Chains A and B, each alone.
Chain A
Amino acid sequence: MATFRVAYGYARNVHNQQSFVEIRKVGTSIDQSTEFSLGPDGYTLTTEGPSDTHMLPGIYTKTLEVTTIWDDVTKLNVLLAQIASSQDGTYFIETKNSLVGVPSFVGVLLPESMAIKDDATNVAVTFRATDGLALLKNTLYNDDGDPYTDHQTLKQHIENVQEKLLTWVRNEEYLESNVGNRRLALSMNATSVDDASYTTHPPSRTTDGYERMRVHHRTFHKQNTDGVNEYYSAYDVLDSICKTLGVCAGSFQQALWLVSPDSIAEGFDVRTYAFNGTESTLNGAVLTQPFDGTYLVTTSYKGANWTRSYSSPVGKALLTRVTQQSQGLIYSTQDAPGTVLFDTDEVYNRSENLTIRGRVRIQKSGDASLTGANRLYRFVPTFTLIIGTDDTTQYYLKHQIQRDITPNMTAVLNEGTQQENVVNYFNLYTGTTANNQLKPYSWETSDSDYHHRVPMDDGRFFALHDAKYDIDVVLPFEFTVLIYGTGNSTNQYKGASLEPQLLAYDFEGLIDSNYLDDATVTFIEVGLYRRAKDQLQEAESFRYRAKQDSGRTDIDHGQTLIGDRGASTYFGGIEVYDGTDWIPSSGWVTRDQATARTVNQLAVEEVCANHKEAKNVQRGTVVHSTSVEPAVFYFGHRWQDMTTDEYFVPLRHVFTYTSQLSDVTLFKRGRTFSGVTVDIDKFTDPIDTTSLKPSGTDLSGSELFVVTRTEGLAQIYHNDARTIAEAWDNANVIDGANLEFYKTVTPDAFGQYNAYQGEFRGVNEKIVRRIYFNGRSRLATDTDSGWVAIHTMPDNSTLAETIDYLQEYVGTDTGDTFQYTAIISHELVSTLTTLLDQYSGATAAYSLRKVRNAYSGNCIIVRRDGASPGSQAIGFNASGELDTTAIISFCGSNNGFVTRWYDQSGNSNDLVQNSTTAQPKIYNGSSIEQLNSKPALLFDGSNDTMAVATNFDANENVNECVVAWVGSITNAGSGNAVVSHWNSTTSNQVFQMQKLNTDYMRHGLRYNNAQLATAASSATIVSGNQYIVVGTNKQNSMTLYTDGDSTSGTNVQNLAPNNATTMFRVSGRADNQAILHNGRTQEVVVWSRATPADDADDISDAINTFYSSY
């Protein structure tokens, strides 16, 4: 169905960006575009979740409010009149960056929400529109008026709901012209909400689960006993799916997204389904809205009214699974004979009474055979009841009892022999009468009028007659059976099935199915009920409750229609696909616990797990900066506080376009304070904080609290210590070291913070612990003055030994006036003898081995191509060589390219390549790229190159510059620059190492008098061979070592080498990427020394001890 534009306007925000607001109408009329102006806010888009205080599964809705100002009042009045008389879904409002662009929001205009403000010169009309999710409450879930049929997967149900959105008309129109665009996005959470308790997740929490689970249509639809269809709303259907699977649903552009709320802050994987039916692979999806406390060009920042609060832990979560009224363990309506009804979950006990009850309607036209001895005598509803359907391996549970409800039947009907067999094997007796007979109903007939009568308990006769031969009779039935038998060892049986049938008997007691040929038989209702104390036990709604010992807040999810019990009845049962068949299941949740949980039980347990700690709730205004495209329309994005690096789930936000402000409510779960995990369970027993106070203090108990860490060290903290620990948690105590222990002593209390790093150290590593002391207390940052490094412990001292040393240092001077702060740092230090430890003063050092012991960072970042792209930092193995195992594991059968080559010199001059086509290769899908059996980066000579992002001066100390390169070159006859510190102007040219097109290696150096000195190798190099090339320059001297063979430079000046802050590149000339490198590079190191050391040949030899090139 097509739509057309009715009117539009546009707004400019404070950053001079433009956004259009368009009113569209269903139809194919010619464009009636009328331009209006927008009010001062432009528009306001509100996104609201199920709760503004807790992170809950459910439906997020969006509403747009826009004030329009019209000059052409005549046209406006025509439009308003049309809108006012229109049906919902006729008019849309959408926003987009250009009139032909993709709508970022499509909403249904709500006629009842229009507000019109007349003015002397023009008219202002405020429109409101919704993405349609809330309006689903008014939409019955059916297939154009008819019930859906059979089972459908949850994905199909979701798509059914999506197509009922009033916005679907417009979204479908767009998708029909962009069939490759997504219509549905389903996320999965790769991480557990609580790793301690939930180690694996059920299929419901994976995108596969949406297609591996299916639910019968009667979950969302039923017939009353009059045969009238009754439907739940489409909103209830979607809401039930959300609550059952623990996900949130929301709209973004033309797609419906389902995202687990607890995964939003963690990041998640998503599978998208395009309108044309194609589906994407599972991709990592992290939609991040960064914000910060300070203004940055690249991010948004917090407004002045930012507030932070904590919500209390949740004590109880409740979810109610709605059952259909008056249902039994098995219950259905309007079924044809032979319909097998079953329940898979209920446990039946020996000696338990069960009642089968219901009504059957028989309609039959006159039949000439209803005369004489063969005339129709009796209709008999019969039922095949099987108890223990899930126990197929135990023979005694597989027997079935077949009863008809009339005790006065002929021998054939009594089936006495079979009954005995049943008794023998199943021992299921009938039972409410004294003589163990079925409850009697009798039939009275006569040849004259064929009047069928059924005596009821109250003495009335039920059933209608015939007027000649027509029959239209409703027969009630009810009988009770007793489960009575040897049973299995537990005397319990799980699951049952019930198949109603109708038999017709002639006057001689013979079954004659011909009587039913023209009959219409409908079991208006059939139910299997428990019976206790002579009362029927009708099923109630099931409530699932999870609780924990602490916490004071209750969360009531409300209701879900999808249930667990009776998984394959028509009452919310679930089936899962096991790879071969669809099988009924409700306890299919696989977890470490011995007892599998039903899906609804899981939902509430996970809510409790999510909320078992106090939560950080932040509210305020976010100001969006000019270069940020606010991700306000995205559903499922997380918000990242760039200051604390914390991620939040948005519970609600209101975005105003013109001012570029978002009023947000953000929620952070799972962690409290500064990464300290508070185990709330520890608070279940009141702590006598009084006894923990330092003597002589007057602290109130509230100022003390207990924290347990995963190491299990329970410690007492003063509240100040907690605050201080926050500030210190990420402090860079000393280059390469971590804060491990913090203690502060004040005159009135003390606090300490323990971030124990353990005693583990790798091969070629040692543990170094240092103690720092300050004579003041409560120091909040490492920038406070007065610190004294009092001691470096002997290598590999334990933390306990270090604390002992500190206590000994502090001594017994702990009087009331004494105060101090002390910290212990922990550092893993390599014991390898590396190149830069032998030859210091490097300004840049890139290598696929570790070349400086103190360097603790990674070696490279590898990008993986293929269907599941990703990026991972790769470090070194215990021997200080590139961790190739990690690369192989990460890349698998995909190629690996290097996006960053870390500078190990400590100057952070990393080589970077963001362009995917220009990144050198490290892994070819099956093996590591190598040269002389060592890892090497492969540069293709076409466009591969890496450069330092920010110009720097690699020869800052001027007097001697040494450049070392290890690699190979494979394209003979062409120029190849392997290392270049160069620019287009001579004053910014420092050095360039290259292979000439004559195949000689050459090192070139520019002096500040613009003269170029060069030193070339004495022989041409062999294509593909590994070489160690070291060039050195100083005043009046230049030498090139090619595999240790030295040659002197020409045009050497009696000047210091040039130095300049300029471009630095590996592969190609630095400024213009000409003469790119075709070959491999393993190492590039540049030294700049104020005092020449004349040791370039030694450097070459030292490098060769590792590479064995010559």
Chain B
Amino acid sequence: MQEWILVNAEGLLTSVARAQIITRELYNITRPVWLQEPFEAESNLFSYITHPDDPTNAALIVDTMHIIQVHPSCTLEKLIAVFPELTVDERFALSSVIHQTNAFPFGLILPDSVTVRDEQYMIDNGWIEEEE
């Protein structure tokens, strides 16, 4: 089942740029950059779409049940950096979850501030059109 997360712009980062960083850093949890091969330079975890009326607005197409494998040497600085709204406790909790498990479902690390949207919401808000 398709699910979406709307990505807001933060600071100097546009919505699209944040979406790109988030999905890329989620991928890096499993495959830290230092051990990636050249073909992984553009690899990421989730794809995203942009709003038809505002291409600067991005929504990640996610699967909250997707299991993310954790590499023991992964670093989380960049991922955490794109969530400036997180409190220190939330950052610590995020780090703890990732560093203390070998794998976790993506939904487990979603901050409280994030809402997962369904297809109807995306249709109602003009992201996608209802199809036959």
Residue numbers of A with Cβ under 8 A of B are 97-98, 101-102, 178-182, 270, 272, 274, 276, 278, 280, 283-288, 634, 861, 863, 869-871, 899, 913-918, 942-943, 945, 975, 977, 984-985, 994, 996-998, 1069, 1071-1076
Taking the nearest CB of chain B, how far is it from the CB of A456, in angstroms? 65
Q: List 7 A-B contacts (CB under 8 A).
A: A180-B99, A285-B35, A288-B38, A861-B39, A899-B39, A943-B46, A984-B129
List of B residues within 8 angstroms of A977 by Cβ = 131
Known: A98-B77, A977-B131, A1072-B129. 15 other contacts (CB 8 A): A98-B81, A181-B73, A182-B72, A272-B35, A280-B72, A283-B35, A871-B37, A899-B43, A917-B63, A942-B2, A943-B46, A1071-B52, A1072-B49, A1073-B2, A1075-B131
Determine whether B42 belongs to the interface, using a CB cutoff of 8 Å to chain A.
yes
Taking the nearest CB of chain A, how far is it from the CB of B79, in angstroms? 12
Given contacts A98-B81, A1072-B128, contact A280 B71 (CB under 8 A): yes
Structural contact, A945 and B35, CB atoms closer than 8 A: no
Question: Which residue of B45, B61, B75, B132 contacts A1073 across the interface (Cβ within 8 Å)?
Answer: B61
Structural contact, A916 and B27, CB atoms closer than 8 A: yes
The secondary structure that dominates the B interface is loop
6 closest A-B pairs by beta carbon, nearest first, are A984-B52, A871-B39, A1072-B128, A180-B72, A915-B47, A182-B73
List of A residues within 8 angstroms of B40 by Cβ = 871
Please, how many angstroms separate the alpha-carbon atoms of A989 and B30 in the complex?
A: 38
Structural contact, A997 and B132, CB atoms closer than 8 A: yes
Interface residues of B in 97-132 (CB under 8 A from A): 99, 119, 127-129, 131-132
Please, how many angstroms separate the alpha-carbon atoms of A645 and B1 in the complex?
A: 43
Structural contact, B46 and A917, CB atoms closer than 8 A: yes
Question: Which residue of B36, B42, B70, B131 contacts A975 across the interface (Cβ within 8 Å)?
Answer: B131
Determine whether B57 belongs to the interface, using a CB cutoff of 8 Å to chain A.
no
Structural contact, B46 and A181, CB atoms closer than 8 A: no
Structural contact, A916 and B44, CB atoms closer than 8 A: yes
List of B residues within 8 angstroms of A98 by Cβ = 77, 81
Determine whether B23 belongs to the interface, using a CB cutoff of 8 Å to chain A.
yes
Question: Which residue of B23, B63, B77, B127 contacts A101 across the interface (Cβ within 8 Å)?
Answer: B77
Please, how many angstroms separate the alpha-carbon atoms of A178 and B72 in the complex?
A: 9
List of A residues within 8 angstroms of B39 by Cβ = 861, 863, 871, 899
Please, how many angstroms separate the alpha-carbon atoms of A276 and B100 in the complex?
A: 11
Given contacts A280-B72, A918-B61, contact A1072 B52 (CB under 8 A): yes
Please, how many angstroms separate the alpha-carbon atoms of A984 and B126 in the complex?
A: 10
Question: Which residue of A270, A283, A943 contacts B2 across the interface (Cβ within 8 Å)?
Answer: A943
Please, how many angstroms separate the alpha-carbon atoms of A1007 and B76 in the complex?
A: 49
Structural contact, B52 and A287, CB atoms closer than 8 A: no
Please, how many angstroms separate the alpha-carbon atoms of A615 and B40 in the complex?
A: 31
Given contacts A178-B99, A917-B45, contact A280 B73 (CB under 8 A): yes
Taking the nearest CB of chain A, how far is it from the CB of B121, in angstroms? 13
Interface size on B, residues (CB 8 A): 37
Structural contact, B127 and A1072, CB atoms closer than 8 A: yes
Structural contact, B132 and A975, CB atoms closer than 8 A: yes
Most buried by B among A274, A914, A942, A998: A914
Please, how many angstroms separate the alpha-carbon atoms of A270 and B81 in the complex?
A: 28
Taking the nearest CB of chain A, how far is it from the CB of B51, in angstroms? 9
Structural contact, A274 and B72, CB atoms closer than 8 A: yes
Structural contact, A918 and B46, CB atoms closer than 8 A: yes
Question: Which residue of B1, B43, B49, B127 contacts A916 across the interface (Cβ within 8 Å)?
Answer: B43
Structural contact, A1073 and B47, CB atoms closer than 8 A: yes
Determine whether B18 belongs to the interface, using a CB cutoff of 8 Å to chain A.
no
Interface string of B71-95 (1 = CB under 8 A from A): 1110101000100000000000000
List of A residues within 8 angstroms of B66 by Cβ = 917
Given contacts A871-B39, A943-B63, A1075-B131, contact A634 B49 (CB under 8 A): no
Interface string of B2-33 (1 = CB under 8 A from A): 10000000000000000000010001000100
Residue numbers of B with Cβ under 8 A of A are 1-2, 23, 27, 31, 34-40, 42-47, 49, 52, 61, 63, 66, 70-73, 75, 77, 81, 99, 119, 127-129, 131-132
Most buried by B among A284, A871, A1074: A1074
Structural contact, B52 and A181, CB atoms closer than 8 A: no
Structural contact, B72 and A181, CB atoms closer than 8 A: yes
Please, how many angstroms separate the alpha-carbon atoms of A943 and B43 in the complex?
A: 16
Please, how many angstroms separate the alpha-carbon atoms of A570 and B70 in the complex?
A: 44
Structural contact, B131 and A272, CB atoms closer than 8 A: no
Given contacts A871-B39, A913-B47, A943-B2, contact A272 B73 (CB under 8 A): yes
Please, how many angstroms separate the alpha-carbon atoms of A737 and B47 in the complex?
A: 37
Please, how many angstroms separate the alpha-carbon atoms of A192 and B127 in the complex?
A: 54
Structural contact, B73 and A1074, CB atoms closer than 8 A: no
Please, how many angstroms separate the alpha-carbon atoms of A861 and B73 in the complex?
A: 27
| B36, closest chain A residue (CB) | A286
Question: Which residue of B27, B35, B45, B49 contacts A1071 across the interface (Cβ within 8 Å)?
Answer: B49
| A918, closest chain B residue (CB) | B47
List of B residues within 8 angstroms of A284 by Cβ = 35, 37
Please, how many angstroms separate the alpha-carbon atoms of A870 and B34 in the complex?
A: 15
Structural contact, A915 and B44, CB atoms closer than 8 A: yes
List of B residues within 8 angstroms of A272 by Cβ = 35, 72-73
Question: Which residue of A945, A984, A1074 contacts B131 across the interface (Cβ within 8 Å)?
Answer: A1074
List of B residues within 8 angstroms of A899 by Cβ = 39, 43
List of B residues within 8 angstroms of A984 by Cβ = 52, 129
Structural contact, B47 and A942, CB atoms closer than 8 A: no
| B12, closest chain A residue (CB) | A16
| A977, closest chain B residue (CB) | B131
| B27, closest chain A residue (CB) | A916
List of A residues within 8 angstroms of B35 by Cβ = 270, 272, 283-285
Structural contact, B38 and A942, CB atoms closer than 8 A: no
Taking the nearest CB of chain B, how far is it from the CB of A662, in angstroms? 18
List of A residues within 8 angstroms of B37 by Cβ = 284, 286, 870-871
Structural contact, A915 and B132, CB atoms closer than 8 A: no
Taking the nearest CB of chain A, how far is it from the CB of B6, in angstroms? 14
List of A residues within 8 angstroms of B70 by Cβ = 180
Taking the nearest CB of chain B, how far is it from the CB of A974, in angstroms? 10
Taking the nearest CB of chain B, how far is it from the CB of A250, in angstroms? 13
| B71, closest chain A residue (CB) | A280
Question: Which residue of A102, A180, A182, A1073 contacts B49 across the interface (Cβ within 8 Å)?
Answer: A1073
Please, how many angstroms separate the alpha-carbon atoms of A997 and B130 in the complex?
A: 12
Taking the nearest CB of chain A, how far is it from the CB of B25, in angstroms? 13
Please, how many angstroms separate the alpha-carbon atoms of A915 and B66 in the complex?
A: 13
| B132, closest chain A residue (CB) | A996
Please, how many angstroms separate the alpha-carbon atoms of A1083 and B59 in the complex?
A: 30
Please, how many angstroms separate the alpha-carbon atoms of A276 and B75 in the complex?
A: 16
Structural contact, A1074 and B128, CB atoms closer than 8 A: yes
Please, how many angstroms separate the alpha-carbon atoms of A813 and B82 in the complex?
A: 72
List of A residues within 8 angstroms of B131 by Cβ = 975, 977, 994, 1069, 1074-1075
Taking the nearest CB of chain A, how far is it from the CB of B77, in angstroms? 5
Please, how many angstroms separate the alpha-carbon atoms of A634 and B34 in the complex?
A: 9
Please, how many angstroms separate the alpha-carbon atoms of A714 and B68 in the complex?
A: 56
Given contacts A871-B37, A917-B63, contact A1074 B132 (CB under 8 A): no
| A1074, closest chain B residue (CB) | B128
Please, how many angstroms separate the alpha-carbon atoms of A977 and B128 in the complex?
A: 14
List of A residues within 8 angstroms of B49 by Cβ = 1071-1073
Please, how many angstroms separate the alpha-carbon atoms of A97 and B36 in the complex?
A: 21
Question: Which residue of B27, B44, B77 contacts A97 across the interface (Cβ within 8 Å)?
Answer: B77
| B70, closest chain A residue (CB) | A180
List of B residues within 8 angstroms of A1073 by Cβ = 2, 47, 49, 61
Structural contact, B73 and A274, CB atoms closer than 8 A: yes
Given contacts A284-B37, A917-B66, A918-B47, contact A180 B129 (CB under 8 A): no
Please, how many angstroms separate the alpha-carbon atoms of A280 and B23 in the complex?
A: 24
Please, how many angstroms separate the alpha-carbon atoms of A102 and B76 in the complex?
A: 9
Structural contact, B47 and A180, CB atoms closer than 8 A: no
List of B residues within 8 angstroms of A287 by Cβ = 34
Please, how many angstroms separate the alpha-carbon atoms of A543 and B13 in the complex?
A: 61
Please, how many angstroms separate the alpha-carbon atoms of A280 and B32 in the complex?
A: 12
List of A residues within 8 angstroms of B2 by Cβ = 942-943, 1073, 1076
Taking the nearest CB of chain B, how far is it from the CB of A441, in angstroms? 64
Please, how many angstroms separate the alpha-carbon atoms of A288 and B34 in the complex?
A: 9
